Amino acid sequence: MEKRFEVKPTIYFIRGLNLNELVFVGLGLNDEEGITLKGLEETRTADTVFMETYTSLMPKFSLKRFETLCGKKIQVLIRQDLEEDSGKVILNAAKCGKAVFLVPGDPFIATTHLALRIDAEKQGIKTRIVHGISIISAIISLSGLHNYKFGKTVTIPFRENFSETPYMVIGQNRNLGLHTLCLLDLKASENQYLSIKQALQMLLEMEQKKQMKIISPETVAVGIARAGSDKPMLKADFIEGLMDFDFGEPPFSLIIPGDLHFMEVEALIALAGAPIDLRRLAK
């Protein structure tokens, strides 16, 4: 009798080069169309896809539309998954194949995911980055201010966590003639967003306390809302004129300029509705 052998199928890993790999992909700003073509392709060829939404607000992002766009089921993670559990769910997936981690904006600009990348590398997991549009570059581009004249960036936290740090950073930058980009705190999962008015009020209160002549109602400021969207809001004025300006929906950011070049002044007048009187401050 002829002996029959069972032929077991050989499994080839088409994505063999993707084993033990974690790719951080920037989603860009505002909606699902902000991701780059390269980022979209990385997502489409992933074995597992994760996403976090707590470090920034993307006002028009639709998870359903994005899943249709990339053809993948997205696992949305909360802060606890990344910070308290050290991203174990992502690392475990990356040990078995290609894992993509989607992050608003650019993956490592103003986010807290560096520890996850370090842990991955320590565990023998290759990491790569596909950059996205950064909120920082978008805000600076909108403002018309010169990028090379920005000093240290600072985050202004909610009142319960407020300290003198933002005030002092603004002072240090202004002493050097540099602009300060202030990122305003948010708790996206709780739908809480620090407003431009609240940020300015706290800075003025710190001025009353420290009296270092860093901030006053006559200080020029630039408020930005929804940078990266189709309808951003940009308004420059002296602080007293910004306090009651309606910026609409979040997210919000704030710039406290240092020395202003005459072209920067003209940009603020033309692009941000600054008062003509600003021309007297040009250098």
* Residues 79-128: tens digit of each pLDDT: 777 777 778 899 999 999 999 999 998 988 866 788 899 999 999 999 99
Is the model's pLDDT at 17 over the cut of 90?
no
Q: What is the mean pLDDT of residues 171-182?
A: 96
- Based on the fold, state whether residues 121 and 141 are members of the same structural domain: no
Is the model's pLDDT at 260 over the cut of 90?
yes
pLDDT of residue 84: 73
- Based on the fold, state whether residues 177 and 251 are members of the same structural domain: yes
Measured distance CA(125)–CA(91) in Å, rounded: 8
Q: Is residue 243 part of a domain?
A: yes
Q: Is residue 3 part of a domain?
A: no
**Distance from the first to the final alpha carbon of the chain:** 99
Report which secondary-structure segment, H or E, holds 187. strand 186-187
pLDDT of residue 111: 64
Q: Is residue 4 part of a domain?
A: no
Is the model's pLDDT at 4 over the cut of 60?
no
| Burial call 132-158: b when 16+ CB within 10 Å, e when fewer | bbbbbebbbebbbbeeebbbebbbbbb
**In which domain, by residue range, is 119 found?**
17-133
